[in-house]
Each structure stands twice: as C-alpha cells, then as structure tokens.
Amino acid sequence: MLTNFDTLPEESRVWIYQANRSFTEQEIEEIESKLHVFIGNWTAHGSDLQAGYLIKYKRFIVIGLNQNLNNATGCSIDASVNFIQQLEKDYRVDLMDKMNVSYKQGEFIAYKPLVDFKKMAKDKAVSKNTIVFNNLVTNIAEFKQNWEVPASESWHSRFIK
C-alpha cells in the first residue's frame, strides 16, 4: 500500500540505495512510476505493506516501511532487492554496492569508491566537516537526523584524522 513517505511514523524502517551517477529527469519519472507499482503491490505473506519512497538529489532511492502495520519478511525483502536489481539493469546503474561513499562537494554530490575516499581523507581533500551520506541509518528518525551529516558524525570519521 503506497503512502506518502512524509506521513510514515518515525520508527519506520528505511533502505537507502545510492546510485553511482545522477538520474535524468526522464529516468526519475520512470523510476517513480515503477516504485508506485512495486510499493502498491508489495506484500508480506499476503498482507499489504504500508510504504513510501523518496528520490533525493537525483541519486538516492529511499524506501520507508511502516512496520507498526506489518513487518517485512524474508520474501518481501527479497522482492524489494529484486526490484532494485531490476532497476540496476534497466538503467545501467549501481544501486547495491555499499562500499562506495557519496558526499557533498559544494552543491554537487560526489560518489567515490571507499578506497578513493580513504585516500582523499589521508590527502586532506575531505575533512571532518565534509557532508557525507550515512546510508546505514535504519529508520526515518535516523534518516532525518543522521543521514546527511558532517563526516565527523558518521562512520566515515574513522578515515579522517
């Protein structure tokens, strides 16, 4: 059951998928249409799941699920992963690789393999004040408070001296 992401409870579970490139406006329209269909039909053992989504910065797909209504199950999580993997194929984009880092570089969103980010930190090309995206947040409250933060307030801090 598709619902507005902004109306989901704070404790709703979130999954964040970061793209290795920006989506075009046309791709965003198509992806939104596909998300409407997927989430509208998303179930767990035959029960509707109340979920919503956001596409942020033309690069992040955020899916939120109200687990107060029904919990995601292994099968429903598999279905969402299969959906995201199909988007990867359809748009020739990487959405599942968690070993990459996205951060703000002025008004732009940069995307680097973790190895390159570590080197940039060592070379002081990024600092503790660099705004990073902590895709490890698990619920909407954390997403609002701890997703887009200075590197010093995220797991990225371990690389910055």
8 Å CB contact between 138 and 13:
yes
pLDDT at 99: 83
pLDDT at 141: 97
Quote the CA–CA distance of 17 and 111 in Å, as a whole number: 13
Average model confidence (pLDDT) across the chain:
93
pLDDT at 130: 93
pTM of the model: 0.93
Q: Report residues of the chain scoring pLDDT below 50.
A: none
pLDDT at 72: 85
pLDDT at 71: 83
pLDDT at 70: 83
Q: Which of 115, 2, 82 is nearest to 49 (CA)?
A: 2
pLDDT at 135: 93
| 135-to-3, 6, 44, 155 alpha-carbon distances in Å | 22, 18, 24, 10
Q: Domains for the chain: give ranges and CATH numbers.
A: 5-91 (3.30.1360), 100-159 (no CATH)
